[in-house]
Each structure stands twice: as C-alpha cells, then as structure tokens.
Structure 1
Amino acid sequence: MKKILTHFNPSISKKNEFVEIAKEIDVFKIAYTGNIGESQNLLEVLKIIRKSKSKFIFYIIGEGSEKEKLKNFIHNNNLENKFIIKKQIDKKELDYFIKNIDGLFISLSSGVSLSKTIPGKFSYYLSKSLPIFSVSDGITNNLIKNKNLGLTSSSANYDELLKKFNTFISLKYSDRILISNNCKKLYFEYFEFKNNVRKFKSILDNYI
C-alpha cells in the first residue's frame, strides 16, 4: 500500500502578523475575504445570519460574479448596518484592516470536490490568529474542529448555521484566546513559510 503524505501550501505571510484579541467586544466584527462566487454560497449564508439578534458587523471584501446579488440583497432588505461589502484591496491594506476584526469567515458550497478543498485564505487566516467560522463540509471543517480553531457549520444545515453563528460571535475572551493560540500553533507547525519549505525539503530528501 502506498503511503500518502499531505503537505499544505505555505502562507503568503512571511512574518508574524498575529492580531491582538480584544478583551471586550460591543459589536462583533467578522470578515470574509476573497472570491465572491457561486462556490462560496454567501447569499444563502446572509439570508440566514441576518436573523441573528446579536450585535455584529459582517464585512465582505473581494470581487466575483455574485457580488452584485449580495449588494442588491443587502440594499433591498435595509441591512447596510449589518453587512458591508468592500472592494478587493491589496495585502498591505487588508492586513491593516484585519487588525480591527474579531473573527474571520470561510464559506464553501456543498459538493464532493469542495469538501476536499482547503481554501487558500485558510493559511492567511491562521497567520492572523483570529477565531474562524466555517460554513462548509469535509476537510476544512474537520481541521477547524479537530484543532479547535473556531466553530463550524454544515453548508446545508441552516438551523445549525444560525445557532453556531450566534455562539461564535458570543465567545468568551478566554475561549477566543485559546482558539487564537491554537491558530498560532498550527500556523507555525505547517504554514509558516520557512517551516513549510523545510518540511517540504525533508519530504523530497526522503523520497528522491
């Protein structure tokens, strides 16, 4: 039987960019960054979490085929105070913006191929050491649950989604600190650029 080794792509961040965890949060600020397309299923997510009674602001930063649909939905339902869509910005600007964010968001539609996908933004999120909320199925959710990097919900279970989202934005400071430390640990172990290259070189040395 052949042995299969997993090697993660390194983070685009090449230095310590961890975000300080806020002790007290009046309005929880959560951000999604990246492509806004059908595979992200963001419109359905917004339709569910808009029902939350908790105080939050959800930032969506990026471009994509579904962006206008999201903007229209937000405008038509007078949700501008909860959901804010921003244009795609470069990494330097994004790094600065995320310093004032409390949590980061991943969303993937259900499906066999997507369930085996770890979004490229995942390693970037880890480099910020902020709690992650993931709405997806498969490997991404399993990794977040097993390593305690945040909370997860199935992309097809809308009742669970709202419940988990409310729990996520209400996490205690001690829980957010624990999650932040777990993100740092996983980041350094598998995604930090120098460590990642070192691991990859070790694999090549052993099998070539």
Structure 2
Amino acid sequence: MKKKILILTQNFYPAIGSAGNRMKNIYQLLNKAEIDTHVLTIDPSYPNQKMYEDKKFWDEPELNIEKRKIKRVPIKNKKFSNKVLSRLFFYIEIMYRFIIHLFKQRKEGYDYILVSTPPIFIVLSAFIGVKLFKCKLILEVRDLWPDSLIGVRTFDNKWIIKLFRWLEKKMYNKADVIVINSDGFRDHITNKLTDKNKVLTYLPNGPRESEIIHTKKENDTFKVVYAGNLGLAQDIDRLKMIAHKLHDNNVKLNIIGYGMKVGEFTDFLTRNELYNVTIHKPSTRKDSLKLIADSDISVAFLNDEEVFSTVLPGKIIDYMTCRTPIIAGVKGTAAKLIEESKTGFAFETDDVQLMVNKVVELKGNRQQLVELMDNCTNTVERDFLWEENVKNLINIIK
C-alpha cells in the first residue's frame, strides 16, 4: 500500500525564493517515488499577492491544474507587512486557516504530516493534524527560529522570545523525524532534544538535474550578479558598498532583488548615480537562473549575527548551479562550503574592499575563473542534486 503524506507549508509554487522551490521539489519527487503526497498551503503572497496575477509565474502546467492534491487556503492579510506584530498576526491567521481545513479533512488517512518551519505557528496546526489523523510528524527546519528573528534585530520582547524558545524545544521533541537544510543546524537542534537518537536527516537545497549549467560562453562585458532577498538578514549596507566600489571599477552589477529593503537600495543607487547597477524585478526561477548563468561572478552577504553562521543560503547553491563563482561576505557553514569546494572566496563580512579586489583580480584571470566554474558544477552534481538527496527522505517514509 502506498504511503500517504500531507505537506503543510506557507511557501509553495509559484512563490518565489528558495522555500517555495524547495517545497515544490519535495512534493514532485515524493509523488514520483509513488508516495501519495498532498499539499496544504496559502495563495502566493510574498513579496505581494498582486505580483502573481502575472501568468509568467505560473509556468508549470501540471501543477496549475492539480486541484485534488494541492489545496490553497485564502488569507485576508494579503500584503506581506514589514511590521513584526502585523507579520505575527499573518502567521497566526495561516495557522488558524490550516486548523479549520484539517478538521474538515479529518476523515482522510495520512501516514505522515510534513510541516515546514519557519514560521513556528504552522507547526502548532501540524500538532493538531497529527492527533486528528493519528499519524507521524516530519519537521522540516529551514531556519533556526526564534534565533533568526533576534538576529535581524527587530524584536526583543524577552517574555515572548522565552515563549518562542519553549515552543521551539517542544516542536523538536514532538517530531518523529527532523529534516534540516543546513548541517549547521544539527548541534543546535540536538542540544534541545530529550531523545538524542531521534532521526535528523540532512536535505539541502539544490538543483534538479535539468537545471545544471555545464557550459557557458565568455561574456563581452564582465558581469557580477546578486540574487535573492534584500532584507534584514542580508546586510544591505555592505551590498551598497560593494555596488559603489564595483561601479568605480567599471564592473556591471545585476541585482535580482525583492524584499523590504528594495526601495532603500534603489534610492541609494539613484542618489549616487550608480548607472552600472541594474535592479531586475522579481521573476520566475527559470529566468533568474538564466540571468545568473549570464554572469561571471556572484556575490552573497549575510548579517554578522552568530545565528546566520549556521545558514546555507539557497542562492549560493543556485550560483554554483549556474557555474557562477561566488564572492561572499559570510562565515560559518556557508564560508566552509565555498572554501572547501573551491567554488569562490569567503571573506569576513566587513571586508568589502577585499571582495571587490578579488572580483577585479578574477576579471583579469580567465583561467582561474574557469577552474572555479568547473568546481561549481562538480560540487552541485556530487552533493546537491535533488534527485539523489531526496532518497534519504523517501527511505524514511517508506
């Protein structure tokens, strides 16, 4: 008999960003492995719901027509707010809507609920689902929460943080299986577990086989790319500095950006007349990968807070997928991967000038650039293919 699984997630196709792409891949590959997989999600809303009225985002016809396995619940708060309290109410509304839907579907039989966090409140709805369906819980951890909330320095109410930490420990211990997308999370989670033998499986973000770029031509114009969120965790001030310095060195910078800091970054470019920098509107994953592949070097930043040293940003794997070597202001897990795989160079987050110097050096050294490109392709094929890595989760479920 087929195993049956329900995925609870805020982020799902066609939502842009690594979270939506991740959950889409898990859904597709579990079904391909003959695990009857369903999804409960919301209408795409990040960075704003209006964006998804454009049909270009709905570029996978087989997912567009699937109504039985993919259920989307409407949310009244349709604009993704920057205010922390408003966003918390947004998460609580999702939890409430999910619980209502689970009660309506309580006669369904599931072997597992897989719930993706953050946000942490969706996990609470999964706890109720596990009771209703008498099934097991797979907790999928994409970020350490509330540590990441504290790390972006927008919320410091000690009593609420204390409550969140209690909930965090509760969800780790209630889960039957824990899936992590960064090996840097392992020690943090293990230290909060009562049962140290609980299954913790590493399932990183990565490309599908069809997405990997194996060759690309040398550009007439040397280009640098930054792709992804422009938010509180990404250290926007250092990205401003590198944009200015690259402009001074006559290097073109493309930004594929979205998030709460886009307006601030755009104003900075206008005030400083940085005409070598272009901001592209959020687009589909396919278009974004194409723009990354058309670049010679990629850049990545993370906030200097300690929690972000455990993170492996999805954009870094996307850069490797496109044979685009990485110059990064990161530390910890991400820095270790870049350095050990020889796919680029990692610097202390405040060493912006050294990062620019390395870009200029590589601009004049095509041979070294090609070696880094080859290492990018070899690394994603060896360690980050979805088709291979998802087998760990499939074996657990079966």
TM over 0.5: yes
**TM-score normalised to structure 2 length:** 0.46
Contact map agreement 1:189 1:195 (CA 8 A) in 2: no
**What's the secondary structure of 1:34's corresponding residue?**
strand
Q: Deviations over 1:134-167 (max 9, x none)?
A: 1112221121111110122211234433333333
- 1:139 maps to which residue? 333
Q: Is the alpha carbon distance of 1:112 and 1:195 closer, same or farther for their aligned partners in structure 2, counting shifts above 3 Å?
A: same
Structure 1, residues 59-115: CA drift from partner, whole Å, max 9, x if none?
A: 1112111111111110001102x2111111011222333342212221111111111
In structure 1, C-alpha distance between the alignment counterparts of 2:245 and 2:386, rounded to whole Å: 40
Partners of 1:91 and 1:16 lie apart in 2 by: 10
Report how far residue 186 of structure 1 moved: 1.2
CA shift at 1:5, angstroms? 7.5
Check conservation: 2:238, 2:350, Cα contact below 8 A: no
Q: 1:111 matched to which residue of 2?
A: 305
CA distance in 2, matches of 1:12, 1:188: 9
The aligned runs of 1:174-185 (5 Å cut-off) are 174-185=367-378
Give the 3 Å change call, closer, same or farther, for CA 46–20 of structure 1 in structure 2: farther
Distance 1:49 1:87 in 2: 17
Q: Distance in 2 between matches of 1:84 and 1:172?
A: 25
Q: Residue 57 of structure 1 aligns with which residue? A: 252
2:268 counterpart residue number: 73
Name whichever structure is richer in helix by fraction.
2
Of all paired residues, the percent bearing the same amino acid is: 21
Name the CA distance, whole Å, in 2 between partners of 1:48 and 1:93. Answer: 24
- Is residue 121 from structure 1 mapped to residue 315 from structure 2 by the alignment? yes
- Matches of 2:390 and 2:204 in 1, distance apart? 9
On the 8 A contact 1:13/1:124 being kept in 2, the answer is no
Q: Which structure 1 segments of 5+ residues have no match?
A: none
Contact 1:31/1:104 (CA < 8 Å) preserved in 2? yes
Partners of 1:101 and 1:110 lie apart in 2 by: 26
**1:155 counterpart letter in structure 2:** T
**What is the RMSD computed on CA atoms of the aligned residues?**
2.7
Q: Find the structure with the greater CA-based Rg.
A: 2
TM-score normalized with structure 1 length: 0.83
SS at match of 1:166: helix
| Alpha-carbon distance in 1 for matches of 2:327, 2:385 | 21
Q: 1:44 aligns with which of 238, 249, 253?
A: 238
Q: For 2:233 and 2:346, locate their aligned partners in 1 and report how far apart those are by CA, in whole Å.
A: 17
**Aligned match of 1:91:** 285
AA at the equivalent of 1:189: R
Equivalent residue for 1:30? 224
Structure 2, unmatched stretches of 5+, are: 1-195
Structure scoring higher RCO (CA < 8 A, sep ≥ 6) equals 1
1:6–1:149 Cα change, 3 Å: farther
Q: 1:188 to 1:12 in 2, by over 3 A?
A: closer
Distance 2:249 2:216 in 1: 19
Amino acid at match of 2:278: I
CA contact (8 A) 1:103 1:133 kept: yes
Relative to 1, partners in 2 of residues 1:198 and 1:136: Cα closer, same or farther, differing over 3 Å?
Answer: same
How far the C-alpha of 1:171 sits from its partner, in A, is 5.0
